[in-house]
Amino acid sequence: MNRIDDPRAVFYLRHQELIEEWAALGEPAAELAHTFLCSCADDIAGLAAELSPDIQVYKTLEEDWPKIFLILPEWLESSEGELEPKVGIGLEWHKSRHLNFTMSPSCPYTGVWTHYDRDDGKDLSRRLRAAFGEANLLKAHQLSTTTAWWPAYRYERATGEYWNDLAPYRAQIVESVRFFWTVFEPQIRKVLGG
């Protein structure tokens, strides 16, 4: 081989130094995204207080998959000496160097989460997906579903020049959590009660 003819490879090689320099900016931006998302905990707690005095906030912010959920006390179960929810409604993201504000699957998402690793987690996730489907909630609201942790969710993408003012994005996230609570909590209550 005496020549590289692939135009994409040539472009990369021609601009490699600058591309690598720009790519290195991703990690500090991911840290900023994580810091911002953690700061949404107070807003989600405010939403919980507004919706009902019975709602609690469950948060784990220093894990690989940080989460801020609204839960009801009866959704908590003991696991290895700690109380963990079997289901929650709220915000989660993957704390990685790829975390960002706009591109799925690396941006945060809101929805209904199940603790899939629990003994009854797979069955609960399946029953919730079935209930949401029967109630036409997924199609009607154009939501995604997985076979595991998230029976209903959507990515929360920031829009426009969000970096100049994160307040609208924060409001978007909180309103999305409100939507999921208002629409899905009654179905969750039915599934857990029956």
Per-residue pLDDT, 61: 97
Q: What is the pLDDT of residue 194?
A: 61
Question: Residue 4's pLDDT is what?
Answer: 94
Per DSSP, 101 falls in state S
Q: Check residue 109 and give its pLDDT.
A: 97
pLDDT value of position 160: 96
State the pLDDT at residue 148. 87
Task: Flag whether 177 is in a domain.
Answer: yes
Residue 135 maps to a domain: yes
User: Is residue 48 assigned to a domain?
Assistant: yes
The two tokens of residue 178 are 């409100």
pLDDT of residue 111: 98
Residue 1 lies inside a defined structural domain of this protein: no
How many domains, the chain? 1
CA-angle at 62, arms to 66 and 72, nearest 5°? 50
Give the pTM: 0.90
Predicted local confidence at residue 143, as pLDDT: 92
Phi, psi of 22, deg, nearest 5: -70, -40
Q: What is the extent of the structural domain holding 104?
A: 7-193
Residue 29's pLDDT is 93
Q: Which residues of the chain have pLDDT under 70?
A: 79-81, 194
Q: Is residue 2 part of a domain?
A: no
**Whole-number Å distance between alpha carbons of 47 and 50:** 5
Q: Are 94 and 37 in contact (CB under 8 A)?
A: no
